[in-house]
Amino acid sequence: MKKKILSVLLAVAMMGTMLAGCGNNENDGGNSGSGSSGTGSTAASSTPDSGAASSGGTGDSAGAEPVTLRWAIWDQETTQYWGDIKAAYEATHDNVTIEMVDLGSTDYMTVLATELSGQGSEFDVVTVKDVPGYATLVQKNAIIPLDDYIKADGVDLEQYAGATDQVVVDGKLYELPFRNDFWVLFYNKDLFDAANVPYPTNDMTFEQYDELARKMTDTTFGSQVYGAHYHTWRSAVQLFAVLDGQHTILDGSYEFMKPYYEMVLNQEADGVARKYSDLKTEGLHYSAAFSGGDVAMLNMGSWFIATMITNLKSGEYDSQLCGNWGIVKYPHAEGVEPGSTLGTITGLAVTSATDTPDAAWDFVKWVSGEEGAAVMASSGNFPAIMTEEVVNLITGLEGFPTDDASKEALNVSNLYLEVPYAPNVSEINSVLDSYHGSIMSGEMSIDDGIAAMNTEVSKILGQ
Amino acid sequence: MPKMDEAQKAIKINSLQEELTALIASVRTEKDVKKKRRLIAKIGDYNRKIDTLKSGRLLSRETKRDLVAYSFIAPNFIGFCVFTLIPIVFAFALAFMRWDGSNPIQWAGLRNFAGLWNDIFFKAALKNTIIYCIGTVPLTMIASLALAIVLNQKVMGRGIFRTLSFFPYVASLVAITAVWKMLFHPSKGPINNILYNVFHVSQESLPQWFTGSLVLLSMILFSVWKYMGYYMVIYLAGLQGISGELYEAASLDGANTWDKFRYITWPQLSSTTFFVVVMLTINCFKVYDIAIMLAGGGSGELTTSSTVLVYYIYQKAFIDWDLGYSSAVAMVLFLMVLVVTVIQFRGQAKRERA
């Protein structure tokens, strides 16, 4: 009997200490909550100041309290612009210290969502890597809508060329893009010269592209040349289909993707492109494939431009193999304006847990504004605001292809986000990814795979 | 506590003593085993009460001893509670809720479980996990037992062979999956090259080891190869525990090798086999790393032909942030492991009694 009582007592004591622990946490939360409202109001009173400061260009921060902003990023070591942004912002805002927290790129959004779950998150500004992750953060109420700030500071959303319209949630915008990558076609000029085939152009239909890829292909053992290369991402194949502007991946019926799957799978079968299942097994990275010098054309995002320039300069890529490269616009479907392409925006958002939302907003506004854009462009990256100046900065970089077609390729006529916002976009994404894998690896026929996508996505949309 | 004077104490002790003798008498006459046990426990209680009164201490010796014991368990147990027990209990509760980790928890009743039956990905994961278990458990057991028996003989270089077969277990999973992927590479791997050059399998019908229906076979083969060394060691220990006299006696009776295995080795190893099978089953149901490493490719996404329950739990919880639903899947996994283990425990208990 006694033993039982004792064990019960022990258990109760333990629960007690634990609850006390929880209580403490809650108290902490409460404290920081009240603290945040306090600092919030002081920061609010200083907003006009900071607004004037940023419009004036120099920091009029005399008297402003020192603020530290914790900013979630990835791959600090290998990505130059994080540090550039921090340095440039701190130079004009004396009272602000930016503290970068590197969460790694592989599962950045998963780690970030976990960090922002529950209480006690310490981030003020977070980088939003993709739209499914954005949807998750919005649903978790981890980031705050920016509309009031946008209105108050008169930020012109027009300058983002419609990208922000595709991530509006119930009429509210929770992020501002600072980086906008779009897909172009990279090609290896040396291979085209050697085969005596004219370079791809900025105005190609998919039929012409397919023909060109086949013309470039050489299946002789030992001196293979692949006319095209498709990375294992779903975007690299499936999203050719949304460029006609009439379909999106949220449709729930995906028959329109069939011709593109057929084109790519036929190319694989004829040795024009490396096989998906081989790529999956090897884990071959697209950069390794293209820099290996046996790939004539590669469809990839504009982020690869900066990679090419840096790695050719550092000698990591052999300039004998891929040093002579160029870019052209994405191929387009019959009757569609050339220059329609896929885009991915990288945005900044203010967390709901921050103590200093106004300082955080000022940082977000600055980075996604023209000053931030200049910093981004100086290292060959594409800011969300594309001005004449930015284009000139990038095309003027040492190592950027010198031909006119490559410069012209940067003019985008229609930008479709790889993943536009929808409440269930994360689940839809998982379904599409899974069946993309099934179709590409030959586990399912194209028709079966598309039928499965239709049923599963309709189920999600019907919820 | 007010102090009792000696006289009162003596009276109390006497009355307790009387009750105790009555109890002892009733135990002697009691026929029902259960009741008898309860009465005996009561006797213990009385003895302890009398002891406490006699010694006049606040805590009896037994209580003190127990407290010391509990204090030794406490650090580990508190850790276990905070990091394992409470999350498990919470997961049970979550299976009936709807929660995304941030917004308020909502009651969902059985909706999460109802959703499972229409979920193609869940069904695929369940099917793959079960096939993987059915393939892996017996194969690993047989392979490790055979290895153990062979390497228990006095063969040349026994130590080297033992080490070699234990090596895959020690080696890093990431490294050896990379090697397997090269060996089984669908177009450049030596295995498919042999099939193509020696057995003249046409290029189109070369097996795609890491996709489609073959991926489970690859996973099973890999897992047998990786884990047989570990279970071999356990079997070796079991084999060395069998007395040599048994085999000697069997030889005198004219038993051949198969008879010796059938009537001596196998029955003597039954408890080892039981342990091996239980551990194998539990580990197989929990498979995740092998699937991701072999079939996940660069992005670590699994298609319906290779997805497993634990991967689906992860995906639902940390990609889609549907913690309730993912807990429901976890409950299914838990139930399966529980049922299999209970059946095995029952079988073992029966065998031991027989």
Q: Is a pLDDT exceeding 50 seen at residue A43?
A: no
Q: What is the pLDDT of residue A40?
A: 36
Q: What is the pLDDT of residue B237?
A: 94
B242 in any annotated domain: yes
Q: Do B67 and A430 touch (CB under 8 A)?
A: no
Tell the residue number behind the tokens 């109890």, with chain if given: B23
User: Quick one: which of B231, B171, B192, B210 has its CA closest to B291?
Assistant: B210
CATH number at residue B306: 1.10.3720.10
What sign does the dihedral B153-B156-B162-B165 (CA atoms) show? negative
Tokens of A234: 């779903």
Listed in sequence order, the DSSP H helices in B198-308 are 214-240, 244-252, 257-260, 266-268, 270-285, 289-295
Q: Do B305 and A3 touch (CB under 8 A)?
A: no
What would the pLDDT profile of A340-387 be if each residue is shown by its tens digit? 888 888 999 999 888 899 999 999 999 998 889 988 888 888 898 888
Question: Which residues in chain A are closer than 8 Å to B103, comparing Cβ atoms?
Answer: 139-141
Phi and psi torsions of A187, nearest 5°: -140, 155
Angle at B252 between CA B250 and CA B257, to 5 degrees: 45
Task: Please tell me if residue A108 touches chain B, with a CB cutoff of 8 Å.
Answer: no
What sign does the dihedral A168-A174-A177-A183 (CA atoms) show? negative
B88 in any annotated domain: no
Q: In terms of CA atoms, which chain A residue is nearest residue B103? A: A140
Question: Which residues in chain A are closer than 8 Å to B59, comparing Cβ atoms?
Answer: none
* pLDDT average, residue stretch A206-223: 89
Around A401, how many Cα atoms within 13 Å sit in the side-chain half-sphere? 23
Phi and psi torsions of A39, nearest 5°: -65, -30
What would the pLDDT profile of A117-156 be if each residue is shown by its tens digit? 876 678 999 999 988 889 989 988 889 999 999 999 988 8
Task: Please tell me if residue A115 touches chain B, with a CB cutoff of 8 Å.
Answer: no
Give the amino acid at A14: M
User: Quick one: which of A141, A129, A68 has its CA closest to A103?
Assistant: A129
Give the amino acid at B318: F
Q: B44 or B115: whose pLDDT is higher?
A: B115
Q: What's the predicted TM-score (pTM) here?
A: 0.79
- Taking every pair of C-alpha atoms in chain B, what is the biggest distance, in angstroms? 103
Around B117, how many Cα atoms within 13 Å sit in the side-chain half-sphere? 4
Q: Give how far A427 is from chain B: nearest CA, Å.
A: 6
Tokens of A5: 């009582």
What would the pLDDT profile of B112-139 be if each residue is shown by its tens digit? 999 898 888 999 999 999 999 999 999 9
Question: Which residues in chain B are closer than 8 Å to A277, comparing Cβ atoms?
Answer: 186, 208, 210-211
Q: Is a pLDDT exceeding 90 seen at residue A220?
A: no
Exposure letters A93-111 (e unless 16+ CB within 10 A, then b): bebbebebeebeeeebbbe
Give the CA distances from residue A90 to residues A51, A209, A372, B25, B188, in Å, rounded to whole numbers and listed in that order.
Answer: 15, 47, 12, 89, 52
Q: What is the pLDDT of residue B13?
A: 80
Tokens of B204: 């189109």
Tokens of A439: 């179709």
Range of the domain at B348: 115-353
Q: What is the pLDDT of residue B2?
A: 52
Q: A88 or B202: whose pLDDT is higher?
A: A88
Distance from C-alpha of B338 to C-alpha of B328, rounded to nearest angstrom: 15
Q: What is the pLDDT of residue B296?
A: 80
Asked which of A42-51, B180-189, B259-268 is least confident by mean pLDDT, the reply is A42-51
* pLDDT average, residue stretch A167-181: 91
Kindly state the DSSP code that residue A381 receives in the 8-state scheme: -
What would the pLDDT profile of A384-415 be if each residue is shown by its tens digit? 888 888 888 888 888 899 898 998 888 888 88
Question: Which residues in chain B are closer than 8 Å to A108, comparing Cβ atoms?
Answer: none
Q: CB of A277 within 8 A of CB of B186?
A: yes
Q: Do B186 and A275 touch (CB under 8 A)?
A: yes
Task: Please tell me if residue A395 touches chain B, with a CB cutoff of 8 Å.
Answer: no
What sign does the dihedral A176-A179-A182-A183 (CA atoms) show? negative
Q: What is the pLDDT of residue A7?
A: 55
Chains A and B form CB pairs within 8 A to the count of 109
All structural domains of chain A with their residue ranges: 65-181+344-393, 182-342+410-462
Residues 6+ positions from A416 with CB-CB distance below 8 Å: A239, A242, A243, A245, A248, A340, A341, A342, A343
Domains of chain B: total: 1
Q: What is the pLDDT of residue A107?
A: 84
Q: For chain A, what percent of residues have pLDDT higher than 90? A: 39
What's the complex ipTM? 0.76
User: Quick one: which of A381, A382, A383, A391 has its CA closest to A411?
Assistant: A391
Tokens of B66: 């127990």
* Plot region of A63 (φ>0 → left; ψ -120 to 50 → alpha; else → beta): left
B150 in any annotated domain: yes
B321 in any annotated domain: yes
Asked which of A6-15, B27-36, B155-164 is least confident by mean pLDDT, the reply is A6-15
Question: Which residues in chain A are closer than 8 Å to B318, comparing Cβ atoms?
Answer: 110, 113-114
Which member of B66, B81, B187 has the closest CB to residue A6?
A: B66
Question: Which residues in chain B are closer than 8 Å to A232, comparing Cβ atoms?
Answer: 297-299
B282 in any annotated domain: yes
B36 in any annotated domain: no
Asked: is A65-181+344-393 a CATH 3.40.190.10 domain? The reply is yes
Return the HEC string of A232-243. Answer: CCCHHHHHHHHH
User: Quick one: which of A43, A51, A97 has its CA closest to A365?
Assistant: A51
* pLDDT average, residue stretch B30-59: 78
B198 in any annotated domain: yes
What would the pLDDT profile of A79-118 be if each residue is shown by its tens digit? 888 999 999 999 998 889 999 999 988 789 888 988 888 7
Q: Is a pLDDT exceeding 50 seen at residue A23?
A: no
Task: Transcribe A177-209 into DSSP letters.
Answer: EEEEEEEEEEEEHHHHHHHT-PPP-SS-BHHHH
Chain B residues with a Cβ under 8 Å from any Cβ in chain A: 45, 48, 62-63, 66-67, 70, 74, 78, 81-82, 86, 100-103, 118, 120-121, 181, 184-188, 208-212, 297-299, 301-305, 307, 315, 318-321
Per-residue pLDDT band at A60 (split at 50, 70, 90): very low
Q: B5 or A298: whose pLDDT is higher?
A: A298
Q: Is a pLDDT exceeding 50 seen at residue A29?
A: no
Which member of B67, B188, B303 has the closest CB to residue A434?
A: B303
Kindly state the DSSP code that residue B316 receives in the 8-state scheme: I
Q: What is the pLDDT of residue A21?
A: 40
Q: Give how far B243 is from chain A: nearest CA, Å.
A: 43
Question: Which residues in chain B are closer than 8 Å to A114, comparing Cβ atoms?
Answer: 101, 318
CATH number of A182-342+410-462: 3.40.190.10
Asked which of A111-120, A263-272, A306-315, B51-60 is least confident by mean pLDDT, the reply is B51-60
Distance from C-alpha of A219 to C-alpha of A153, rounded to nearest angstrom: 59
B272 in any annotated domain: yes
Which secondary structure element, helix H or strand E, spans residue A98, and what is its range? strand A96-102
Task: Please tell me if residue A68 touches chain B, with a CB cutoff of 8 Å.
Answer: no
Q: Is a pLDDT exceeding 90 seen at residue A174?
A: yes
- DSSP-derived pairing of the beta strands A325-328 and B106-107: unpaired
Question: Which residues in chain B are closer than 8 Å to A453, comparing Cβ atoms?
Answer: none
Distance from C-alpha of A40 to C-alpha of A360, rounded to nearest angstrom: 11
